[in-house]
Chains A and B, each alone.
Chain A
Amino acid sequence: MSVLLDVRALEVRYGGIVALRGIDLHVEEGEIVALLGANGAGKTTTLRAISGLLPVRAGEISFAGASVRRRSPDAIARLGIGHVPEGRRVFTRMTVRENLELGGYAIASHRKVADRIDEVLAIFPRLHERIAQRAGTLSGGEQQMLAIGRALIARPRLLLLDEPSLGLAPLVVAQIFEVLRDIHKRGTTVVLVEQNARAALALADRGYVLRNGEIARADTADALARDPAVVAAYLGGE
């Protein structure tokens, strides 16, 4: 396996406040990596820095061997990093189909985009039923599927997922995780930020625990799931 994403000594600030200090992490081709941590630990900030939405103060981010640190978000997206942001952020006033078409914005061929939309609709039959509806009328779970589907159209090599289960009912969460497993099987590398640490670790190969903008721990998913400190802080006793 080769390293697909390599983040070194990443530092991000808001005004004077240091949000990330010296984050080191890497993701190998074909892996699922989970980022865990409390709210405010810097998980979302890490993802947003990787995809270029936040300016990086120091450190290096390289994707498939090339630096992406100074690139704009759209350029990074075109390089093959898909990002499903927190809160889904679908285009609510556009139809489901238009949302998916925009997912293929960087693809020149109409034909190709249409084919890929068919593929995504096969993964999410619910979206097929709602294809002509405005995205704003979808339920939370459907919007999450649309957000993932939109990112998949571009066939990203790396998919960043930010809290895909947030605010969703247990049944829907299970469906979403099923889909993630499926996407991964088809060869997409995944970085997953998840509040639902138990489910995330069950799916992931490895995980990082963030605390106050730093990597507090890095290990295999199994080891993290068994670690009493991690269990107490992020998994909760049941």
Chain B
Amino acid sequence: MHEFLAQLANGVELGAIYALIALGYTLVYGILELINFAHGDVYTFGSFVALGVLVGLRAAGVLHGAGLILGIAAALIAAIIASALLNAAIERLAYRPLRKAPRLAPLITAIGVSFMLENLIELWQGSAPVPFPNVIPNPQLQIGALEVGVQQIVVVALAIVTMVALHFFVQRSRLGKAMRAVAQDRDAASLVGIDVNRTIAITFLIAGALAGVAGFVGGVSFGSAWFLNGFGAGLRAFTAAVLGGIGNIAGAMLGGFLIGLLESFSTWLIGGQWSNVAVFSVLILVLVFRPSGLLGESLPEKV
């Protein structure tokens, strides 16, 4: 029972991170129908930026008391800004010129960008995992039989707040509506005065920012950053987005938490080396029975 609760807490924490990354995939897919393979690496980049800021501030000796809170905030914000800018730059340089190209061209480009980023991050940070500075206190709380770290609670809370905010932003705000309009019909959107390129660029900024949040949260939660983190995490996050129904914000969240739980329980019950097998088997099973994902709409074919 104790172990079960611990795995549950683990899975939820992991799921929150996957969900944050999945949101970025889903936003971009929703607007461009593109699997942004580089997104996982943007997440990795965010992790390293946060790590760099924390290391720098620790060396400056300011990470205590109020300085610690400000330092953590600075690391988070730096990760958000850096990832957002990187993602937007990728869109501008690698995807925008291909708006009218055959469908597979941007996908191959995305894979190419992903390879380049992974290699660049490796050159920058080396090929071994880099530990996150252990500066963030993590007092344990006992809630009934469940023992969780404050850090875990903060991670999940931060993720959920971000997701809810994003949901309302996309549903209610003027820009959010423009994003949905561009996603549905680019020409029609431009005819009502929406700047399509700008809207797509903003979508990439937001997706990148979410990857930045995830990068910070993931780094703190796993205790390290590694140049290839983004590949595995990105793959699972994209799987989460598809599982939930791609293009659907609530679906990405649901999918993220499910994949997180699945990973943590499969690791516990059948061993970590089987968790990929478990994750993808469940994905295949779900899609066989619900071809558009758990929350995705299956629109009747227009004939």
Contact = CB atoms under 8 A, between A and B. Distances in A.
| A–B direct touch in complex (beta carbons closer than 8 A) | yes
A78 B193 contact: yes
A69 interface: no
Given A91-B180, A102-B177, A105-B178, A74 B185 contact: no
B158 interface: no
19 contacts: A53-B191, A72-B195, A73-B187, A74-B194, A78-B193, A83-B191, A89-B191, A91-B180, A91-B185, A92-B184, A93-B297, A94-B180, A94-B181, A98-B177, A102-B181, A105-B177, A136-B299, A154-B192, A154-B193
Contacts of B184: 91-94
A103 interface: yes
B194 A105 contact: yes
Nearest to A160: B191
Interface string B280-303: 000000000000000001010000
- Give the contact-size bracket for chain B: 20 to 34
A78 B197 CA distance: 16
A102 B194 contact: yes
Interface string A90-117: 1111100010011101100000000000
Contacts of B191: 51, 53, 73-74, 77, 82-83, 85, 89, 151
B2 interface: no
Interface in B167-219: 174, 177-178, 180-181, 184-185, 187-197
Chain B interface, >50% SS class: helix
A105 B173 CA distance: 11
B7 to A, nearest CB: 38
A154 B245 CA distance: 35
A91 B195 contact: no
Given A91-B188, A136-B299, 20 more contacts: A72-B190, A73-B187, A73-B191, A74-B191, A74-B193, A75-B195, A77-B191, A85-B188, A89-B188, A91-B180, A93-B184, A93-B297, A94-B180, A94-B184, A102-B177, A102-B178, A105-B192, A105-B193, A106-B193, A151-B192
